[in-house]
């Protein structure tokens, strides 16, 4: 079974809605949930998630508030939650302290998109001490040698960013004409590979599963849905419908 891994950003439209969204995603059969910590300079994200992060920060969302919410919500969920955080907020609190805090809140994984492999030694050591799976990113254009190094260092699964689809919202499913690079990366490792960035329709999810991926990450489409809904209640209903459609595409 291919894992469905939805991504939402904390605090957009507000933390109360984020808490309910986590419950909805869990109830719809998500296998892992990625929760983005809003950051002021999210270079690895496209305009949809950048805008959501800006709105979240403008409403006063901060790390302590997110952790407080997670402490209440995570015991109610059946699937694990991973945090998606840029390196700067981690360094600000200190790597050891950050890991201890998220572990105590019940977080089980961590994705840090902007830290080079060569600088992950301390992150890997502290995450291992706290039983946090540190997930590292690669792309279809990553060299074979570097891919092997990233795979060796990554825990849990490898995050394969399909950058050619990043923040893409066509109404037609026009998958990349050449998927050979993506297939090669999937086949190059014995660890589970989850493909993400720009996957926004059930057709995309099905296509990626057919390539042999072990997981499919859907982010911007969910963030956009919650952020543009007429009300938080409507957004949660739309999130439920959308998530069920993605899950059905993987069955």
Rounded Cα–Cα distance for residues 112 and 95 (Å): 12
| Separation between Cα atoms, residue 221 and residue 52, nearest integer Å | 12
Look up 34 and say whether it is catalytic: yes
The answer to whether 64 is a known catalytic residue is: no
Concatenated DSSP letters for 84-141?
Answer: E--HHHHHHH-HHHHHHHHHHHT--EEE-TT--GGG-HHHHHHHHHTTPEEE-EE-TT
Q: At 217, give phi and psi (nearest 5°).
A: -105, 125
d(CA 58, CA 245): 32
* Alpha-carbon span 236 to 216, nearest angstrom: 21
CA 187 to chain centre: 22
Identified catalytic residue from 26, 45, 126, 162: 45
- Decide if 185 contacts 192 (C-beta within 8 A): no
Is 214 within 8 Å of 234 (Cβ atoms)?
no
190 alpha carbon, distance to own chain's centre = 21
Query: Catalytic: which of 26, 31, 34, 133?
Result: 34
Please give the positions annotated as active site.
34, 45
């Amino acid at each position: 079974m291919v894992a469905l891994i939805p991504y939402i950003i904390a605090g957009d439209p507000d933390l109360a809605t984020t808490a309910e969204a986590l419950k909805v995603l869990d109830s719809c059969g998500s296998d892992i949930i990625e929760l983005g910590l809003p950051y002021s300079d999210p270079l690895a994200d496209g305009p949809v998630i950048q805008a959501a992060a800006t709105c979240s920060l403008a409403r006063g969302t901060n790390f302590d508030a997110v952790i407080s919410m997670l402490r209440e919500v995570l015991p109610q969920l059946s699937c694990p939650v991973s945090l998606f955080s840029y390196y700067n907020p981690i360094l600000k609190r200190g790597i050891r302290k950050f890991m201890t805090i998220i572990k105590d809140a019940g977080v089980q994984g961590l994705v840090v998109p902007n830290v080079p492999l060569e600088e992950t030694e301390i992150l890997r050591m502290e995450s291992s001490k706290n039983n946090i799976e540190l997930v590292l990113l690669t792309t279809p254009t990553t060299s074979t040698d570097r891919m092997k190094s990233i795979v060796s260092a990554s825990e849990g699964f490898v995050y394969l960013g399909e950058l050619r689809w990043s923040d893409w919202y066509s109404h037609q499913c026009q998958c990349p004409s050449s998927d050979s690079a993506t297939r090669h990366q999937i086949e190059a490792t014995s660890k589970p590979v989850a493909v993400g960035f720009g996957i926004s329709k059930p057709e995309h999810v099905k296509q990626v599963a057919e390539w042999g991926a072990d997981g499919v990450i859907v982010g911007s489409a969910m963030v956009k849905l919650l952020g543009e809904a007429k009300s938080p209640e409507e957004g949660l209903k739309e999130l439920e419908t959308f998530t069920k459609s993605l899950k059905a595409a993987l069955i």
